Amino acid sequence: MHIRRLTPLLLAGCLVLAGCGGGAGSGVGGGAADPNATVSVRLLLEPTSLDITKVAGAALEQVLLDNVYQTLLTRSADQKIVPLLAASYETSPDGLTYTFRLHPDARFADGSPLTSADVAASLDRARAADSTNPNAKDLAAVTSVATPDPRTVVITLGQRDTNLTYALTNRAGAVLKKGTDPATLDATPNGSGPFVVRQWRRGSAIVLARNDNYWGEKAKVASVVLNYIPDFNAANNAQLTGETDVETAPLPTLLDPIRADPDFTITQGITSDKYVLGINNTKGPLADVRVRQAIRRTLGVVGLSKILGGTYKRIGSGVAPTDPWFQDLTSIDPYDPASAKDLLARAGFPNGLNLTLTVPNIYPTTIGDYIVSQLKQVGIAVTFQPVEFASWLDKVYKRGDFDLSIVDHAEARDIGNYANPRYYWHYNSPVVQDLYRRATTAATEGERDDLLKQAARQISLDAASDWLLNPTDLVVLRPGITGFPTSGTSSRLNLSQLAATSKE
């Protein structure tokens, strides 16, 4: 039997009493945390809707998951999977049955208890045949969700799935009250989390207020104002003038004024973002692995990282540091323009070739400009086509009509895309597909990680794409702010530990 125990996350151990006592835990600045504080946070991308069952996008997950809605399991600050709504869980030895025991006090913001019926209803809705949940596929292996008693949920799988627990920490595992009408989700979200949505001023801010009915350790601040400031200069300004207490996703090239101020702290964490140079593996000259390798060897991204502010890491594969099977594969196809030219010649293109680069215009053109400039050095003439995201979805993603493309694949643990020959890269490797299949149905996580490491290595050797950069997660904090997440903040922002001392 495989038993997971409660983690300190839910222990009522470290309460901060109102008004007296020192600040709890480590953090910046001293003084007592103010339980009536309102913390103002700058976020970059505003969600278009709060309907978590239908509308895709990391922006919703950032606001809602862990704060308003909760999942059976969640991820800790160091990316480990830990129980949340489930006080404990067990897995059967054959890996086909997961039994979750819900926390006895769990309840929704309106006071009604959270029972297994709610969990089952949410999971069933997410995995239904006509589900509109963008993460429905994550629950594909689930054959049934049973509720033997109000506190127990039994998930049965048709085959092993080493990704299930991870899937349950995401949107597919969000627990909504049974019978919730999705049409009302925009206006009246009723979740079980430590915050409720008090107000949404579209185009500017979402205000989260402490859920006083929360079943666990109450939030340490009275409210959090999530300010959506897409412009990087304005965001800096807001932080420098004190309008915001926390600035997420600052532009690294604009950080000098912030760095010059000794009061501000800039935390650094890891992200699951991967700026991928997607290569259409079946198109013309790109079908030849030597051409793809040549492209990889021409793109020395150290210079690119410098231009972008220096806080980017090279990664050698489609695996980000947030994934358990991460390994450094940057030694495969390192920067070597001379050998790149040689490879091109041997592949039959001694005079170079012409390619198009299709990029959604939500990214700074610097990256595309850089690719064009670099590839020019080995004779590859690139036509740069910035397109709107909707056009990119249609042209590149849906129809696969492209040569090269740059997109930030922000999801963690998405190596499975390389095992899908229909994914827009058209990379079809039976070896990798087999490794992935075995990893999904592996008996232990260690086995899974080994298999996926092999898969990642193979993908890299095949030069299926070029993985340009992995950004460092930067967050600017004013003195007195503690408990703010430092990693993966663009897709998950767990504010349950956030505390603030009052500003001078």
| Residue selected from 1, 13, 111, 130 as contacting another protein according to rule CB under 8 A | 130
Residues near another protein (CB under 8 A), total: 64
Tell me how far, at minimum, the Cβ of 304 lies from another protein, in Å. Answer: 7
Binding of another protein at residue 385 (CB under 8 A)?
Answer: yes
394 in contact with another protein (CB under 8 A): yes
Per DSSP bridges, beta strands 353-360 and 380-387 are parallel
Selected from 14, 15, 254, 443, the binder of another protein by CB under 8 A is 254
**Closest to another protein by CB, 356 or 454:** 356
266 binds another protein (CB under 8 A): no
136 is an interface residue for another protein by CB under 8 A: yes
> Least distance (Å) from another protein to the CB of residue 165?
18
Least distance CB 113 / another protein (angstroms): 29
Residue from 149, 282, 389, 446 that binds another protein (CB under 8 A)?
389
Q: By C-alpha distance, which of 181, 207, 162 is closest to 68?
A: 207
Residue 501: CA count within 13 A, CB half-sphere: 20
Rounded to whole angstroms, the Cα distance separating 147 from 429 reads 41
**Should residue 233 be labelled a site residue for another protein when binding is judged by CB under 8 A?**
yes
String of contacts with another protein for each residue 396-415, x by CB under 8 A: -xx-----------------
Residues 415, 318 contacting (CB under 8 angstroms): yes
Out of 92, 391, 420, 428, name the contact with another protein by CB under 8 A.
391
Site for another protein, residues 424 to 483, rule: CB under 8 A: none
Least separation, in Å, of the C-beta of 457 and another protein? 25
**Buried/exposed code over 259-283 (b: 16+ C-beta within 10 A; e: otherwise):** eeeeebbebebbbbbbbbbbbbbeb
Stretch that binds another protein, among 222-230, 288-296, 329-337, 449-457 (CB under 8 A): 222-230
Helices within 288-425 (DSSP H only): 289-298, 301-307, 337-346, 365-376, 389-392
Q: Is residue 363 near another protein by the rule CB under 8 A?
A: no
Stretch that binds another protein, among 264-272, 303-311, 322-330, 468-476 (CB under 8 A): 303-311
Q: Residue 98 CB, nearest distance to another protein (Å)?
A: 22
Q: Does 388 bind another protein (CB under 8 A)?
A: yes
**Under 8 Å between Cβ of 74 and 494:** yes
Q: How far is CA 10 from CA 63, 194, 217, in A?
A: 21, 12, 7
Q: Name which position in 36, 76, 204, 282 contacts another protein (CB under 8 A).
A: 204
What's the sign of the alpha-carbon dihedral 493, 214, 24, 17?
A: positive
The CA-based angle 5-9-15, given to 5 degrees, is 130
Does 370 participate in binding another protein (rule CB under 8 A)? yes
249 φ, ψ to 5°? 50, 50
Q: Does 137 bind another protein (CB under 8 A)?
A: yes
Contact between 262 and another protein by CB under 8 A: the answer reads no
- Of 79, 88, 97, 131, the one binding another protein (CB under 8 A) is 131
Sequence-ordered strand ranges (E) for 233-289: 246-248, 265-270, 274-279
| Burial of 411: CB neighbours in 10 Å, binned 0-12, 13-18, 19+ | middle
Instruction: Pull the structure tokens for residue 355.
Output: 């390619």
Number of H helices, E strands in the chain: 12, 23
Sign of the C-alpha dihedral computed for residues 345, 349, 353 and 358 taken in this order: negative
Q: Which stretch binds another protein (CB under 8 A): 16-24, 128-136, 314-322, 495-503?
A: 128-136
Q: Binding string to another protein for residues 45 to 74, with x set by CB under 8 A, is what? A: ---xx-x--xxxx-----------------
Radius of gyration of the chain from Cα atoms? Answer: 24
Q: Single out the residue of 177, 76, 52, 74 nearest to residue 121, CA to CA.
A: 177
d(CA 72, CA 170): 10
Rank residues 80 and 399 by Cβ distance to another protein and give the closer one: 399
For another protein, the closer of residues 329 and 340 by Cβ is 340
Q: Note whether 124 binds another protein by CB under 8 A.
A: no
Q: Do 360 and 409 contact (CB within 8 A), yes or no?
A: no
Please identify which residue in 311, 361, 433, 486 interacts with another protein, judged by CB under 8 A. Answer: 361
Q: Does 259 bind another protein (CB under 8 A)?
A: no
- Spatial strand order of the sheet with 152-157 comes to 2-3, 86-91, 97-102, 152-157, 142-149
366 binding another protein? (CB under 8 A): yes
**Which member of 124, 186, 445, 450 binds another protein (CB under 8 A)?**
186
Count the alpha carbons within 13 Å of 350 in the hemisphere toward its beta carbon. Answer: 1
Sole window of 86-94, 161-169, 383-391, 451-459 interacting with another protein (rule: CB under 8 A): 383-391
Smallest CA-to-CA distance from 414 within 348, 498, 325 is with: 325
State in angstroms the smallest separation of the CB of 87 from another protein: 30
Binding stretches for another protein (CB under 8 A): 48-49, 51, 54-57, 130-132, 134-137, 183, 186, 201-205, 227, 229-234, 236-237, 251, 253-254, 256-257, 302-304, 306-307, 361, 365-366, 368-370, 372-374, 376, 384-395, 397-398
